[in-house]
Structure 1
Amino acid sequence: MAASLYDSLVHSLDALLPKGSSGVFPYKELVLGFMYIVFLWEEYLRYRHYRNLCSKVRPKALNDYVTEEQFQKAQAYGRDKAQFGLVESVFTQIQSTLTITMNFLPWLWTLSGDIMFRLAGYSSEYEITQSILFFVLLTVFSTVVSLPFSLYSTFVIEERHGFNKQTLGLFFSDMVKGHLVGGAIGMPFLAGFLKIIKIGGDNFFFYIWLFLVAFQLIMVSIYPTYIQPLFNQFQSLPEGELRTMIEALASRIHFPLTKLFVIDGSKRSGHSNAYFYGFFKNKRIVLFDTLLEHSNNEEISHELGHWACNHTLRMLAFNQVQIFAIFYLFSQFIHNKEMYISFGFTDSTPTLIGFLLFQFLYSPVESVIAFVANMLSRKYEFEADAFARDLGYAGSLASGLIKLQLKNLGTMNPDWLHSMYHRSHPELIERLNAIDHPAFRSKTEKVE
């Protein structure tokens, strides 16, 4: 029934929409059109955001918490990032346009086949091997193209505002290690991914979904224990007031805490972070060392609020539904020869290429899904704050949020539309307003 409805919809669209110059459905033209619509929309939001960042007037709601100097520093940091983001976005848009219009992907696929034949004598029937080689070449190309932007962001913008702590040697060491680890994991994963699609038949989307669920669970288990230690040093949080407070809070809400770690985030950045991981009765909390100087029990209570409200499991379920839908829709396009022809693949229909082309088509939907995910995440942040507030930590949590905002030079004067579309966390003023209740109001006036 669903398949017949889908076929009817496709035939109706095929009759209504014009054919491209090659006589096939104009997938390429549609992708370019949607790509520019999204680009213009996001640049409009960036303009709104930048306009607020140019304001010299400190929001009245923050007068009691943020000095004029702190506000101007945050505004300058935000302007630098917004200007850099505009340049990077325009470059990426031009690159994407050329990649599609100049048939870069067909050229790279042919190149990978030529290299495979010259090195191993393999023909095009070794599609999985060619796909892995194509993946490697595409990764190298993307890394080289994005490298100047990464260097400028780290060693100019972050350096200028006092956040960068890493050397060029550490930067390139991280990049090389990241690619080696990514290749060691990514190439077997890609081979398994393509093999399952090949043998899965018309219902491959279900088997791929199961494969990805298993892969994600494995990665969640091994990443903190075996992969992240390749980049950061983990140490047990020393005995002291902070450790005692965290353990007491975990015991109070029955959080199954087994270990408390500190990692050396300060060797790369001055930004702060914290997270927890683990399954069932084996939870571990990780604090960046940059967080220790102003971290307190109240901020940790917010993170534990995510656990108490089952936010991690809910987001996991949301993501799994999304992934299942993506691969179901892909199963409807995988054999669509017109899609391949439209993008320049006239002689072959490789599975990996089909998935990349489908992602082009799916990108407008992905933008909407990302917005929905951000709205859901913002809701969960409010709920975690409310959890900490209801434990009696309203005033201290508000103080901790302000300290963290100042330390990270977070935006003090956000545009509401830009924030709603892009940000997964509510803005500081929104969170302070939501935290407010009689116990907190007795110490400070409500933020407006």
Structure 2
Amino acid sequence: MDHSTRRKLLQTGLAAALLAAGGMPVAAGARRGGRLRIGLSGGPAPAHWDPRFGPGLFQMVSGAGLAFDTLTEIAPDGLLRGALATSWTPSEAGRVWTLDLDPEARFHSGHPFDAADAIASLDLHKAPGDAGYGIRSLIAEMRLRGPHRFEVVLHRANADFPYLLSDPALIMGPRHSAAEVFRSGAGTGPYRVASFDGASRLLVERVPGHPRTSQGNWFDTVEILVIPRAEDRARAFAEGRVDVVDRLPQPLSERLERAHRAQTIAIPATDALRFSPGVGCAAERADAVMAALHDGLDRQALTAGDPRLCLAAMPMAPAAPGGAMAPGGLTLSIDGDLGEQGARLVAQIGQQMAALGHPMRLAEPGQAVDLHVARLTTRPTHAWTLLSLFGGEDTAPTTGSETPAQRDYVPLLSEANLVVADWIGRPEPQAQPWSTGHARMGQRWWRA
């Protein structure tokens, strides 16, 4: 058997059958069953799983590979493999791609998934600002070639296009009733929603007979609890209420390691801070606030002493003290956990804005908010992620030509982590970022 044939074999369910027949379990010591309980720092967006709004931390863990699926995915060994797509064939040197879909794929409602659904799902990202816009903008045309086959014509050849389709923003939904499906979580994934309160707790259960069972899906149920404060996540882990928590400061993670035989997984991550007008901020006021933010900040001063900050990618205009806004205070709201680096950056921005005559203070409950700061976890196709954030066609973002609406993201290089109970087994992802590897923990991890 040549290398290419073996590699293709190992990307199919047939490989699992052959390994099991030969006495080698796919995951040594793995046991099916039980519940995986995850405590996350980030919660669902108001739109829940609507992919146009982007996969935040909650959406990435509960979406692609759990309740929903993408067309392709990056396996733990780093190879591209099919999810809802079973094959992708290039022509015209990679400008045209023909994709075949799994004919057994079904939505949790029982309705079959087909090529028209795939095209409609990709077309959700046609507007600038949509999470998958940077990838969708590469596509010139899509054509149906059968119930489970469609053709994608790109503006120009791109050998990486099947890899881009693994982006967790590109989860698949139906061409009809998509809004309800993305609100309820009734996708095509190996787990279906059992209960969801829309804010802090999600419980999913494994779909019996799912066609991708051989690729993982070991747990009977997966529970996700949103716990914004790091101290509360650490306490929940110590008390045995969750088995996995994310983004703990080093002293907390080390304490859990010593006292509870936990393991910390360090994960290089690329985040972004998003600055946007707050709730209740009038349009004219919002424009003035964003103009003051973009025109008044000194980027060089903000990046001093922290080489991980990528503020050069935020195309703010040169400093012009005062901007378009009359001096006065700004009310601010923030996500529950911006991370250490994000919190430090916001504090520095607050100092600069105060020097310009715009001191920032946290808004009181019920008070109109001038500026909201949120942390987003970006996706593996990072160049296209930045493109979709800033807008544009099919090249990397450039400085100085974007509109103010496209200038409210600050990319950050940070380090995330997961603290994991010792009874959990997992594959060792090779050179994979958070969103393609560890975020699929509900699909890929098991009872050791």
TM class by smaller structure: under 0.3
Higher helix share: 1
TM-score (norm 2): 0.26
Higher strand share: 2
TM-score (norm 1): 0.26
Larger Rg: 1
